[in-house]
């Protein structure tokens, strides 16, 4: 794995060249192709110099590199500004820190870069955010993460003193205390985010630029799920004894957040709340502690990363033309931008887990794991599925139909915009076709 980090380090001079924008994006895509061609997982993993790639981190690493390259394409306005080098540096730091989180075999290294990824994201929000309220949204993001992560650091130090190692494959501790379990899991629940510790997410999404929203929806929320999978395999007894608490909060929170989606007046805010609902589903699958649940959650993390990222892109395309995110102004887009209406329809349908999307398969797996865990949970799943369809339909119908606010026609989108949406769509459909690869 060191060859990957050396590749990234040698990319730093690209940030200061004249053709830096395109070269940086192509370099990230080349690195993604390198990962795609990795073959022969020896003993289920590729380990070198205390970094490793296994089946869990493989899909998330590919997703990281794809979303980072799409962030560069989507931020075309920043390309012409004087801060474009600084913007690429922030993207580079995010890419580097997220790769280390997904590839690290050491708890402390994972924790350090888990926290460090907050810094470039905060700078993205503060410098390229929309309104003055971005200061308070950055404050929410910072303090929620800090409050949850300090106990997690103490737990890691406790493991170090007890087991004299922080490597995942050597750390064997019988975790039977609920307090220790809560401290261990809480940092990941805030990042996921679970209902009741989710308030930072809509704030951050609404004020972030399109690149910040893409990285938040596509990758930052996935760190929480990835951390839960990693620690769940180590401290299974602790999860087995206490997961009913988080399961109950997730299943009730998912219904409440879906209802909150139906009263939103801001397009980005509604997509952000729908992310909270989907991540609650993901958490339900993980806490069932079954193979189907973990597989369903893993597939939902990847599918939601692509689907939600593209929906924020679509919201940004209409924002660039209307200069507003309000539902009351973003109406009748099918008359003004009919070429985008197809993509709005497809991604709203995928968001409500219609076949043939990857979201559909992941929800089927999660439903099965919920029934294994608690047979009466099908009653709640009916509500969750129905409300998910409601807010996705509401989003599509309210934005595409109605009387347009402006009479000027923006019927043509640029090639860049269609490219972004197509690159989001193709992996979702291709992974659904190749679903047998994941099950086997």
Q: Please tell me the predicted confidence (pLDDT) of residue 19.
A: 66
Segments forming the whole domain that contains residue 326: 2-439
Q: Please tell me the predicted confidence (pLDDT) of residue 412.
A: 72
Q: Please tell me the predicted confidence (pLDDT) of residue 283.
A: 94
Q: What is the 3-state secondary structure (H, E, C) of 159-217?
A: HHHHHCCCECCCCCCCCCCHHHHHHHHHHHHHHCCCCCCCCHHHHHHHHCCHHHHHHHH
* Two tokens, residue 102: 């997904």
Among 374, 350, 375, which Cα is nearest to 363's?
A: 350
pLDDT tens digits for the chain (440 residues)? 788 889 999 988 888 776 678 888 889 999 999 888 876 665 566 777 788 888 889 899 999 999 999 999 998 888 888 888 899 999 999 999 999 999 999 999 999 999 999 999 999 999 998 888 889 999 999 999 889 999 999 999 988 888 888 898 887 777 888 898 998 899 999 998 998 899 999 999 988 999 999 999 989 999 999 999 999 988 888 999 999 999 999 999 999 999 999 999 899 999 999 999 999 999 999 999 999 999 999 999 999 999 999 999 999 998 888 888 888 888 888 888 888 899 999 999 999 988 888 899 899 999 999 999 998 998 999 999 999 999 999 999 999 998 887 666 555 788 899 999 999 999 998 888 887 776 65
* Two tokens, residue 200: 């930072």
Buried b / exposed e over 412-421, threshold 16 CB at 10 Å, is ebeeebeebb
Q: How many domains does one find in the chain?
A: 1
C-alpha span between 210 and 217 (Å, rounded): 11
What separation, in Å, do the N-terminal and C-terminal C-alpha atoms of the chain show? 25
Residue 382 CA to chain centroid, in angstroms?
Answer: 25
Please report which helix (H) or strand (E) contains residue 53, including its range: strand 51-54
- Give the contacts of 266 (CB within 8 A, at least 6 positions apart): 206, 325, 326, 327
Among 289, 200, 206, 303, which Cα is nearest to 244's?
A: 289
8 Å CB contact between 342 and 396: no
């Amino acid at each position: 794995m060191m060859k990957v980090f050396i590749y990234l380090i040698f990319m730093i001079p690209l940030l200061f060249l004249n053709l830096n924008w395109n070269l940086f994006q192509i370099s990230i895509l080349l690195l993604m192709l390198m990962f795609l061609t990795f073959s022969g997982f020896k003993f289920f993993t590729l380990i070198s110099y205390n970094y490793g790639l296994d089946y869990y981190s493989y899909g998330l690493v590919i997703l990281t590199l794809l979303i980072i390259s799409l962030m560069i394409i989507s931020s075309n306005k920043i390309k012409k500004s004087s801060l474009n080098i600084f913007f690429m540096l922030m993207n580079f730091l995010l890419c580097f820190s997220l790769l280390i989180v997904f590839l690290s075999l050491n708890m402390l290294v994972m924790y350090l870069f888990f926290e460090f990824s907050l810094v470039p994201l905060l700078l993205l929000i503060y410098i390229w955010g929309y309104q003055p309220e971005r200061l308070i949204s950055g404050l929410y993001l910072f303090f929620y993460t800090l409050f949850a992560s300090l106990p997690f650091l103490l737990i890691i130090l406790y493991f170090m003193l007890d087991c004299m190692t922080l490597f995942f494959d050597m750390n064997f501790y019988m975790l039977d205390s609920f307090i220790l379990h809560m401290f261990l899991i809480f940092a990941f629940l805030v990042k996921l985010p679970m209902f009741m510790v989710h308030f930072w997410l809509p704030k951050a999404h609404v004020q972030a630029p399109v690149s910040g929203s893409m990285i938040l929806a596509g990758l930052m929320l996935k760190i929480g799920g990835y951390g839960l999978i990693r620690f769940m395999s180590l401290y299974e007894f602790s999860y087995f004894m206490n997961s009913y608490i988080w399961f109950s909060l997730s299943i009730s929170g998912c219904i409440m957040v879906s209802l909150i989606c139906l009263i939103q007046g801001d397009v980005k805010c509604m997509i952000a709340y729908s992310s909270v609902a989907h991540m609650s589903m993901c958490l339900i699958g993980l806490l069932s502690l079954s193979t189907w649940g973990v597989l369903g959650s893993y597939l939902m993390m990847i599918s939601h990363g692509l689907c939600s990222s593209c929906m924020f892109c679509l919201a940004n395309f209409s924002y660039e033309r209307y200069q507003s995110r309000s539902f009351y102004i973003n109406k009748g887009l099918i008359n003004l931008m009919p070429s985008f209406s197809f993509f709005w329809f497809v991604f709203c349908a995928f968001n409500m887990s219609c076949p043939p999307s990857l979201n559909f398969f992941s929800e089927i797996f999660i439903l099965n794991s919920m029934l294994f865990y608690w047979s009466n949970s099908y009653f709640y799943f009916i509500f969750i599925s129905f409300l998910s369809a409601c807010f996705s339909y509401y989003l599509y119908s309210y934005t595409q139909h109605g009387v347009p606010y402006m009479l000027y026609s923006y019927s043509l989108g640029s090639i860049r915009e269609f490219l972004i949406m197509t690159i989001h769509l193709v992996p979702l459909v291709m992974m659904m076709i190749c679903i047998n690869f994941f099950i086997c």
